[in-house]
Amino acid sequence: MCRLAGILLLLVSLFSFFNNSFVHGDNRKHNKAPYTEEERMAEYVRQGYQFPFDTYYPETPGFREIMDQRFAQIRSLTDTQMKWDGWIQTVNAAVSTPNFTEYGWGLSQAPDLLTLDIRQAIYEGLPRARSEGGVDVIDGPVNPLFIDRPDLNARAMRELQPILESWAGIELVPAQAYGFRLYRNESSLWMHTDRTQTHVISCIYHIASSDDSEPWPIVIEDYEGNTQMAYLEPGDLLLYESAKNFHGRPTKFDGSWYTSLFVHFYPKGDWQHENHDTKAHYAIPPDWAKVIPNDVVPKLEVIGTSMMNPLCDDHWCNLKTAKKVFGPGQYNTVLTSNGQISSLHLDGATDDEEL
């Protein structure tokens, strides 16, 4: 019996190692688990983990509350694969990845000239846009479109790096600029976190949308446990700690197309020498597969690397109490939770106001 359970757990972890993610073009499907369930448990003990977890990063009452609620939702799931995938995402977000900023997100704006040049490229590329193919966190009747402009991806990465470095307060290594994706009518993007190894300090750069588009908020959880709904204008940057702050666009897009670029960086230095993708695995408790029913927390479903609440409006219950934030953001400043605004002190930019 015990042996059977061990084999079952091992199979589950082998099967779902790296969590079948295909969020922003990072395909983890082909990796194999480098450990057995016994080795994983030995490491759990060696690293001194226990559940409930001792420490969350960051340790604030609001963040602890929202993560604890998610753990309770995951513990009540009956599907073993959903459970394992849910554990990995939530442990990554709450326990095994450090935070680099106070609230985990901010609204800013890209240099005007960069936005203008990319907008022009998007309008020129529209008639020839290709299909992106299926993306497992995106729901909707049609797959997104995609415009390939690697030259502009590289330029955006170069020009946005100082903005993200100043915001995060650390030096960064460019990992990926993924785009240009064009979401299509009736699309939604389930709530998720990104790959910890390379998607640490990131931004969603909104370029343009069709004239018939309704406003379409990006939803992100902050370190006070609040849910923020940000309505981006063209040129706006949603800065975020992509491996830690659950984000998505759970409401349905209404319009012909809506395009963004996703730019990801990771910390310079030792970061790349550690395996951050497996870190979370060792923190997951031995009895993770146990089903603990819970009638208090809203029902959760885990779809690959993403999450939704099937019984709430727009598939995400916390939208009911979300705080709305409206662009345009301002170049050289960051607006974040509680209306807090700070300067990025970028070279060559003038701080016209004392902030």
Ligand X SMILES: *[C@@H]1O[C@H](CO)[C@@H](O)[C@H](O)[C@H]1NC(C)=O
The residues binding ligand X (CB under 6 A) are 58, 60, 99-102, 185-186, 212, 223, 254-256
Residue nearest to ligand X (CB): 58
For residue 211, the minimal CB distance to ligand X (Å) is 10
For residue 98, the minimal CB distance to ligand X (Å) is 7
Task: Name 163's Cβ contacts closer than 8 Å, sequence gap at least 6.
Answer: 108, 110, 203, 237, 239, 344, 346
Which of 16, 336 has the CB closer to ligand X?
Answer: 336
Strands 227-231 and 323-326: parallel
For residue 186, the minimal CB distance to ligand X (Å) is 5
Give the helix, strand, coil percentages of the chain, each rounded to 5: 35, 25, 40
Q: Is 77 in contact with 305 (CB distance < 8 Å)?
A: no
For residue 55, the minimal CB distance to ligand X (Å) is 12
Question: Counting beta carbons within 10 angstroms of the beta carbon of residue 150, is it exposed (0 to 12), middle (13 to 18) or buried (19 or more)?
Answer: exposed
For residue 224, the minimal CB distance to ligand X (Å) is 7
Which of 16, 337 has the CB closer to ligand X?
Answer: 337
Residues making up the chain, counted from first to last = 355
C-alpha to C-alpha distance for 311 and 210, rounded to whole angstroms: 31
The DSSP code sequence of 71-117 is HHHHHH---HHHHHHHHHHHHIIIIIS---SSSSEEEEE--HHHHHH
**Residue at token pair 């995106």:** 138
Element containing residue 131 per DSSP (H, E): strand 130-131
Which of 34, 98 has the CB closer to ligand X?
Answer: 98
C-alpha to C-alpha distance for 151 and 118, rounded to whole angstroms: 10
Structure tokens at 207: 């370029």
Which of 35, 100 has the CB closer to ligand X?
Answer: 100
Q: Is 242 in contact with 194 (CB distance < 8 Å)?
A: yes
Which of 19, 336 has the CB closer to ligand X?
Answer: 336
Partners of 335 in the β-ladder: 107, 341
Which of 212, 352 has the CB closer to ligand X?
Answer: 212
For residue 196, the minimal CB distance to ligand X (Å) is 16
For residue 237, the minimal CB distance to ligand X (Å) is 19
Which of 148, 212 has the CB closer to ligand X?
Answer: 212
